[in-house]
């Protein structure tokens, strides 16, 4: 398998199975961070979990009601905030590199779709 980088409007995500340590990449047009395979796996898994939670909450919230949801693993913390149909995403890497990143609501849908098809988690 070759290196793969998917990108869209203010988001990007990548996978390089041949890299020695940092096989994953997440970022925007302005920044990026390389992730280990385990970190990328957790990122994609938690992102999908948060998206599912937002979908499930859609019928329980009024149209103008915003919500924030968090998910965490040993490797990273993630939060979505906004409306069930449009929300921003933040993450903090809990490993030794001390990284924080954020995507605006316009970028999250594309990032979510790309993360689901990047590789099999």
Paired tokens of 74:
């040993």
| Rg over CA atoms, the chain | 14
pLDDT tens track for 49-82: 999 999 888 888 777 888 899 999 999 999 999 9
Domains and CATH numbers, the chain: 4-118 (2.30.31.10)
For residue 39, pLDDT over 50 is answered with yes
pLDDT tens track for 86-120: 999 999 999 888 899 999 999 999 999 999 988 75
Is-above-0.85 flag for pTM? yes
30: CB partners within 8 A, 6+ apart: none
Model confidence band, residue 121 (pLDDT cutoffs 50, 70, 90): very low
């Amino acid at each position: 398998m070759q290196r793969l980088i998917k990108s869209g409007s203010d988001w990007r995500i990548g996978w390089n199975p041949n890299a020695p340590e940092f096989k994953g990449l997440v970022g925007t047009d302005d920044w990026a961070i390389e992730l280990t395979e385990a970190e990328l796996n957790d990122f994609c898994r938690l992102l999908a979990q948060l998206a599912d939670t937002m979908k499930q909450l859609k019928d329980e919230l009024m149209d103008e009601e915003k919500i924030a949801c968090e998910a965490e693993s040993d490797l990273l913390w993630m939060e979505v905030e906004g409306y069930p149909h449009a929300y921003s995403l933040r993450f903090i890497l809990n490993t030794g590199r001390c990284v924080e990143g954020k995507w605006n609501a316009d970028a999250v849908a594309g990032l979510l779709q790309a993360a689901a098809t990047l590789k099999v988690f």
